[in-house]
């Protein structure tokens, strides 16, 4: 599993959690103005997981 972080059409940050087969497992329900806030949201979902974060 891995996370992808990206900017949406409104230029706000969002994230998506992908499974090993590249299918979406979860995504951010909200957008973030700051990339660090989006990463903080990922870390809330991640908990102790070691899934990497890829910047798109």
Q: What is the pLDDT of residues 39-56, one digit of tens each?
A: 999 988 887 667 787 887
Q: Which domain holds residue 43?
A: 2-55
What token pair was written down for 5?
């972080």
Answer yes or no: is pLDDT of 3 > 80: yes
Distance CA(13)–CA(20), nearest Å, equals 23
CA atoms lying within 13 Å on the CB side of residue 2: 10
CATH number of the domain enclosing 51: 3.30.160.160
The number of distinct structural domains making up the chain is 1
- Which residue has tokens 């870390």? 43
Answer yes or no: is pLDDT of 20 > 80: yes
Task: Taking the CA atoms of 18, 20, 21 and 25 in sequence, report the sign of the dihedral they define.
Answer: negative
CA atoms lying within 13 Å on the CB side of residue 33: 0
Q: Compute the average pLDDT of residues 18-22.
A: 94
pLDDT digits (tens, 9 = 90+) for 9-19: 999 999 999 99
């Amino acid at each position: 599993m891995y996370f992808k972080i990206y900017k949406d059409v409104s230029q706000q940050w969002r994230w998506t959690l992908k499974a090993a087969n590249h299918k979406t497992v979860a995504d951010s329900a909200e957008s973030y103005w700051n990339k660090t806030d989006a990463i903080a949201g990922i870390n809330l979902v991640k908990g102790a997981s070691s899934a990497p974060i890829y910047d798109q």
